[in-house]
Amino acid sequence: MGGTRTLKESHILLIHPRPEELRVLLSQMQSAGVRISMATTSQQGLQRAQALPPDLILLNVQMPKMDGLTLCRLLRETPAARHIPIIFLSTVSTVEDRLQGFALGAVDYVTQPFVPEEVMARICIHLARGVQRTEQRDPPDQQLPQDADEITLRAAMRLIDQQLDAPPPLREIARLVGTHGKRLTTIFRRYLGVTVYAYIREQRLRKSQELLASSNATIQDIADLIGFRSAANFATSFRERTGMTPSVFRKQIREMKQWGGA
């Protein structure tokens, strides 16, 4: 499929608090035959991306209440929207900002003010690449809608798992997934039956067991990787939870593997 045809047949969702600032770009998109949907808040954008998934999302970073980075995090946990290419628009751009955007799954990052023709060219490129992504989409039975709380839960779990050595405080975790601490705790209790802090402890234990079983990392290194201040503190917590020390656990796992391979 050629670039022009791809652009003409596309549906783009613009999520921006002041779409009038992009009137030249919007005019060029309309002239090219693009179908444009607009949202002026992140919550509205999330709902529209779920209800009628677009081919590409233009997302402003500086959104009120819930910023664009948080929205991107939620979109990546939404089955109907997780594969949609996202291009960030921002009036402020540092290397750190761009890296964070790409880490969250954005395909591009454009700083305002920009040249509309350049943005159009980038849109064409990512739409063409998006066609190639269709085969990677989830099977239909995994495309079922999720409620907002489940999306928030998945985003928080992923965030915690990625920062297991030093997870943010509860209030910050909640902010980064678009909610507040009390509601996030309620969501964790509802779906997982544990608090956020209990989930962090369980994930640290699970990760430590994986590392003990599959790596030659020292006990101290494993303690550092999962956020314990010392190997002694890690060993004490591990023993309280499993009834054995990390060294004994590792020894038993290796003996089982040797026995199984004999």
Q: Where are the domains of the chain?
A: 3-142, 148-261
SS3 content of the chain, % helix, strand, coil (to 5): 60, 10, 30
Please check the confidence at residue 56 and state whether its pLDDT lies above 80. yes
- Residue 161 Ramachandran class (φ > 0 left, ψ -120 to 50 alpha, else beta): alpha
Please check the confidence at residue 92 and state whether its pLDDT lies above 90. no
Please check the confidence at residue 70 and state whether its pLDDT lies above 80. yes
pLDDT of res. 137: 52
pLDDT of res. 95: 85
| CA-based R_g, the chain, Å | 22
**Alpha-carbon dihedral 144, 145, 147, 151, rounded to 10 degrees:** 80
pLDDT of res. 38: 96
Q: Which residue has the tokens 């179908």?
A: 35
Model-level pTM? 0.81
Fold topology of 3-142: Rossmann fold (3.40.50)
- The alpha helices in 58-180, defined as continuous H runs, are 68-75, 95-103, 116-133, 148-162, 170-176
pLDDT of res. 96: 85
| pLDDT averaged over every residue in the chain | 88
d(CA 154, CA 134): 23
pLDDT of res. 145: 47
The CATH homologous superfamily to which domain 148-261 belongs is: Homeodomain-like (1.10.10.60)
* pLDDT tens for each residue of 203-212: 999 999 999 9
Please check the confidence at residue 157 and state whether its pLDDT lies above 70. yes
Q: Cβ distance 131 to 1 under 8 Å?
A: yes
pLDDT of res. 219: 94
Asked whether this chain's domains 3-142 and 148-261 adopt the same fold, the reply is no
Residue among 13, 44, 45 at smallest CA distance from 29: 13
- Going by pLDDT thresholds of 50, 70 and 90, the confidence category of residue 24 is very high
Please check the confidence at residue 63 and state whether its pLDDT lies above 80. yes
Q: pLDDT exceeding 70 applies to what percent of the chain?
A: 90
Please check the confidence at residue 181 and state whether its pLDDT lies above 70. yes
Tally of CB atoms within 10 A around 179: 22
pLDDT of res. 91: 87
pLDDT of res. 39: 97
* pLDDT tens for each residue of 126-150: 988 765 444 445 554 454 546 889 9
The two structure tokens encoding residue 247: 């060294």
* pLDDT tens for each residue of 71-89: 999 999 998 898 999 999 9
